Amino acid sequence: MYSICLIACQTNTSKQDSSTTGYLKHQTVPDSDTENTLKLVYTGNMGVCLEYDDKTVIIDGLHEYYDKPYVYPPETMVNQLIKGEFKDFSKIEFCLFTHLHGDHFSGKYAKQYLESSDEAYVIGSSQLMKDVVTLHTKLDSMSSRFFPVPYNKKAHSFNATGIKIEAIQCDHTNPKRHNKTENIAYLVNLGGYNILHVGDTDWSLTREPVKTLDIKNKTLDIAILPYWLLLDDSDISQVNDLLAPKHIIATHIPPDFSKRDQKELRERFSNITLLMQLGEVHYFEK
Ligand SMILES: [Zn+2]
């Protein structure tokens, strides 16, 4: 049984020397000894399932067909993930969604996940809760395992054994069109690895939340970013000044992303992985 608590808190004041950042050891075939290794599997668009030991967190990973430029997981893969039967990934403790757009979130799958276990927890904006609620038949029993993130520019913490999650407002890209869409950024600590997932956003909208999360004074191991934050040479300083991650994971990549563009990203950032093949698995070690 997990003890879950929701605390609205101000900036974490613990300091760490950011000059100690280096590279993570990254492999696509694991060593025989995977102790201390962080695993990541790509579940389409910005979807990743992360696991350390038997602690598993999925972010934007349960979604359905939305439109042609978006990779999405087939139902069999979703069922395996929900049951903890996908490759060597175990059951998911937390399912996080950055926002309600269909290339990031499926109310149907969120409901299936909540129904799969009494120890399944979903975190996301309250907007997403409304969508899930409309699909719920047994809302009362499950809503206690659905944690809405207040959209108030403060960091909100969720803790369970071996997993620490901080969630914060990080507005959706193109506010003119999407100003009503609440987008949440997540900082997940899994087995001592700090992983940031920002959802659909832009650098200008990321600055404040990242400062509130005090990312620069924590050592960020992995930054999971939409690819459009990485397309220009000026983005190098944005990445370094705001996040300084040991490793970058580029996501939201359309299936027709050209070889030339892929090469350009790899040349611009030496510590980058482009997620393009559904189900591809990556192993990281400090
Ligand atoms: Zn979106």
The full set of domain ranges for the chain reads 5-285
Q: How many CA atoms lie within 13 A of 243 on its CB side?
A: 27
Q: Give the angle 62-173-246 at the CA atoms, nearest 5°.
A: 70
Ligand 1 centroid distance, CA of 254 (Å): 14
Prediction pTM value:
0.91
Angle between helices 126-135 and 107-116 (to 10 degrees): 80
Rounded CA-CA distance 125/249 in Å is 23
Tens-level pLDDT at each residue, the chain (286 residues): 334 444 333 333 333 333 345 789 999 998 888 889 999 999 999 999 999 999 999 999 999 999 888 999 999 999 999 999 999 999 999 999 999 999 999 988 998 999 899 899 999 998 877 766 565 445 556 677 889 999 999 999 999 888 999 999 999 999 888 889 999 999 999 999 999 999 999 999 999 999 999 998 999 999 999 999 999 999 999 999 999 999 999 999 999 999 999 999 999 999 999 999 999 999 999 9
Ligand 1 centroid distance, CA of 2 (Å): 31
- Give the pLDDT confidence score for residue 16 in this predicted structure: 31
Ligand 1 centroid distance, CA of 196 (Å): 17
Ligand 1 centroid distance, CA of 178 (Å): 8
Length of the chain (residues) = 286
Ligand 1 centroid distance, CA of 200 (Å): 5
Whether the CB-CB separation of 247 and 23 falls below 8 Å is answered with yes
Ligand 1 centroid distance, CA of 99 (Å): 7
Ligand 1 centroid distance, CA of 27 (Å): 30
CATH architecture of 5-285: 4-Layer Sandwich (3.60)
Ligand 1 centroid distance, CA of 201 (Å): 8
Ligand 1 centroid distance, CA of 103 (Å): 7
**Strand 25-27 with 55-59, pairing:** unpaired
Ligand 1 centroid distance, CA of 144 (Å): 26
Ligand 1 centroid distance, CA of 183 (Å): 8
Ligand 1 centroid distance, CA of 170 (Å): 12
Whether the CB-CB separation of 91 and 2 falls below 8 Å is answered with no
- Determine phi and psi for 177, rounding to 5 degrees: -95, -35
CA-nearest of 269, 283, 271, 218 to 246 is 271
Question: How many other C-beta atoms are found inside a 10 Å radius of the C-beta of residue 267?
Answer: 9
- Give the pLDDT confidence score for residue 234 in this predicted structure: 96
Question: How many other C-beta atoms are found inside a 10 Å radius of the C-beta of residue 240?
Answer: 12
What residues have a C-beta under 5 A from ligand 1, the ion?
101, 200
Question: Given 3-state DSSP classes, what are the helix, strand and coil percentages for the chain, each rounded to the nearest 5?
Answer: 25, 25, 45
Ligand 1 centroid distance, CA of 172 (Å): 7
What's the Cα-to-Cα distance from 264 to each of 202, 219, 227, 247, 248, rounded to whole Å? 20, 26, 12, 17, 14
Ligand 1 centroid distance, CA of 29 (Å): 32
